[in-house]
C-alpha cells in the first residue's frame, strides 16, 4: 500500500473533512476546574441528605470564580451550569430537588445526594498533555470542537491526493454540447470528480481521450504526473478498447486485470512511471527498469454504474491510503431483503438498491434498472445490494450485505 502524501498546515476553519497528520494534545486539564453540570446549589451531600437546613451565602454563574471562603458546614451556594464548584462543596443539588425559602435551603422529602453528584471533576475529560485527537482522525464538527478547546487555531493535515480523471471514447461529447444521435454526454468524468472529492481527493478532469493510440498516449502521459490516474472506458475486450495496450507501452506494471464482479468485471489496477513523456512503442524499453517515481492508476469500465461500483470497491480505498487514513475498507452494512431476489449467478453482483429503516430493523430493496448504463436508476438508489455468487434465489427476510455510497 502506498505511503501517505506530504503534510500541510491549515486553519481550523478549513479543516473539515481533512485527515490529521499529527495528534492534538490537551494544553490544560479538561475541564480545568470541578464543573457543575446543573443549575442548583453547591452543598455538602451528607448535610443536605440528613435534612439539615442550609444557609445560602451567595450565587455563582459560569465564567465567574467564587471569591468568598470555602463552603462551610450549614452553608450552600447557588450555582449555574458550567460554573466552578467552590472548595468545601462536594455535590450540586438540582433546583428541582430542593426547597428554598428566602436564604434558607432544605431537601425535598426522601431525597438524598452522593458526593460528586452533578459535578465533572477537574481533568476527568483529559489531563494536560494527553492526546485528545490521534493522528489519522478525519476532522468533523466534534474534532473541530476538541481542537478549539485545546487552543489549536491551525492543524497539521495530510495533503489531498491529486487525481487526474480521463474519460475515453469516440462517442463522448462535453455536457454543454448537443449530442448527435450516436453520441452521449461525458457524465463519467463529472461523477468521478464528485466521488474523488467525497473520498478526500482533489480531482482534475482532463480532456476526453479518443479511441486512438496517439490521443490516448498523450492523455495518459499528462495524467501520469498526478498522484493517481483514473480512466473510464476502453478496458474491455473490444477492437477499440486500447487503454491496456497504451498503458503497457507506457511501462505500466499491472497488479490485476479484471474482477469477478458484475457490474465492473473489466477493471484494471497498476502503476505507471511518473514522467509526463508522450510514449510510443519504440520507447517502451526506456521504462523497463524505471527507478523514478510512480503514479498509481485505475482503468474503470465505461458504463456509469460499473464505474461507481468499482470506485467504491477499489479506487476509494487507495485514495484513503494516499490521504493517510487507516480505515481503508469500503463501507458495508447488513440488511434484510424486502422481497425475493433471484440468484446472482457466477459472479458477485452489486445492484442499485434502497435502504429503509424501521423499528424492527433495516431492509433493502432492489431498484428496477436497465443495466450498468442506467444513470437514472443509480440516482434513485442510495446503496448497492451485494448478492453472492449462487444460482439459488434469496428470499425476503434473508440477510445480505449492502455497499454504502
Model confidence pLDDT, tens digit, residues 127-167: 999 999 999 899 999 999 999 999 999 999 999 999 999 99
CATH code where residue 383 lies = 2.40.340.10
**Could you report the per-residue pLDDT of 189-242, keeping only the tens digit for each?**
999 999 999 999 999 999 999 999 999 999 999 999 999 999 999 887 666 678
CATH code, domain carrying 146:
3.90.105.10
**Same structural domain for residues 304 and 373?**
no
* Residue 284 confidence (pLDDT): 63
DSSP state of 50: T
User: In residues, how long is the chain?
Assistant: 405
Q: How confident is the model at residue 5 (pLDDT cuts 50, 70, 90)?
A: confident
In the predicted structure, residue 390 carries a pLDDT above the cut 90? no
Question: What average pLDDT is seen over the chain?
Answer: 92
Cβ(166)–Cβ(231) below 8 Å: yes
**Domain stop point among 61, 92, 120:** 120
Query: Which pLDDT score, from 0 to 100, does residue 215 have?
Result: 93
Asked if the structure places residue 361 within a domain, the reply is yes
Are 187 and 303 within one domain?
A: yes
Annotate 333-357 with DSSP letters as a single string. EEEEESS-B---BSSEEEEEEEEEE
- pTM attached to this predicted model: 0.84
Q: Are residues 154 and 173 in the same domain?
A: no
289 and 196 in a single domain? The answer is yes
Q: What domain range includes position 11? A: 7-30+133-158
Residues 314 and 204 in one domain: yes
Instruction: Please give the pLDDT value at position 93.
Output: 97
22 and 40 within one domain: no
Burial category of 246 from C-beta neighbours within 10 Å (exposed 0-12, middle 13-18, buried 19 and up) = buried
- CA distances 265 to 23, 42, 380, Å, are 40, 68, 23
Give the end of a domain, one of 268, 288, 322: 322
Q: What is the dihedral of CA 205, 227, 373, 329, to 10 degrees?
A: -140
Amino acid at each position: 500500500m502506498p505511503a501517505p502524501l506530504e503534510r500541510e498546515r491549515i486553519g481550523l476553519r478549513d479543516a473539515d473533512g481533512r485527515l490529521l497528520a499529527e495528534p492534538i494534545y490537551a494544553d490544560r486539564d479538561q475541564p480545568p476546574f470541578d464543573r457543575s453540570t446543573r443549575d442548583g446549589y453547591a452543598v455538602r451531600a451528607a448535610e443536605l441528605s440528613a435534612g439539615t437546613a442550609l444557609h445560602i451565602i451567595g450565587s455563582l454563574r459560569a465564567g465567574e470564580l467564587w471569591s468568598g471562603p470555602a463552603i462551610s458546614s450549614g452553608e450552600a451556594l447557588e450555582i449555574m451550569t458550567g460554573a466552578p464548584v467552590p472548595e468545601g462543596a462536594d455535590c450540586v443539588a438540582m433546583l428541582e430537588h430542593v426547597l428554598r425559602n428566602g436564604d434558607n435551603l432544605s431537601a425535598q422529602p426522601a431525597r438524598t445526594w452522593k458526593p460528586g453528584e452533578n459535578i465533572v471533576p477537574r481533568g476527568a475529560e483529559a489531563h494536560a498533555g494527553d492526546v485528545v485527537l490521534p493522528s489519522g482522525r478525519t476532522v468533523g464538527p466534534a474534532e473541530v470542537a476538541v481542537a478549539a478547546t485545546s487552543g489549536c487555531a491551525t492543524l497539521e493535515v495530510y495533503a489531498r491526493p491529486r487525481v487526474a480523471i480521463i474519460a475515453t471514447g469516440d462517442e463522448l461529447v462535453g455536457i454543454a454540447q448537443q449530442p448527435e444521435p450516436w453520441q452521449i454526454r461525458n457524465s463519467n468524468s463529472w461523477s468521478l470528480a464528485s466521488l474523488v472529492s467525497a473520498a478526500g481527493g482533489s480531482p482534475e478532469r482532463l480532456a476526453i481521450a479518443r479511441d486512438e493510440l496517439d490521443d490516448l498516449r498523450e492523455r495518459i502521459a499528462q495524467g501520469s504526473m498526478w498522484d493517481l490516474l483514473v480512466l473510464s472506458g476502453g478496458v474491455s475486450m473490444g477492437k477499440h478498447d486500447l487503454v491496456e495496450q497504451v498503458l503497457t507501452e507506457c511501462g505500466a506494471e499491472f497488479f490485476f486485470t479484471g474482477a469477478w464482479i458484475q457490474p465492473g468485471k473489466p477493471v484494471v489496477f497498476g502503476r505507471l512511471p511518473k514522467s509526463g513523456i508522450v510514449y510510443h512503442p519504440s520507447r517502451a524499453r526506456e521504462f523497463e527498469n524505471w527507478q523514478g517515481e510512480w503514479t498509481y492508476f485505475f482503468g474503470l469500465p465505461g458504463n456509469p454504474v460499473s464505474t461507481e461500483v468499482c470506485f467504491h470497491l477499489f479506487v476509494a480505498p487507495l485514495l484513503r491510503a494516499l490521504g493517510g487514513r487507516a480505515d481503508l475498507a469500503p463501507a458495508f452494512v447488513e440488511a434484510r431483503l424486502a422481497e425475493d431476489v433471484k440468484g446472482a449467478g457466477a459472479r458477485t453482483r452489486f445492484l442499485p438498491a434502497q435502504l429503509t429503516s424501521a423499528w424492527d430493523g433495516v431492509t433493502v430493496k432492489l431498484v428496477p434498472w436497465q443495466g450498468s448504463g442506467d444513470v437514472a436508476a443509480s440516482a434513485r438508489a442510495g446503496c448497492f445490494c451485494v448478492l453472492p455468487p449462487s444460482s439459488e434465489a434469496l428470499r425476503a427476510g434473508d440477510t445480505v450485505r449492502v455497499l454504502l455510497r
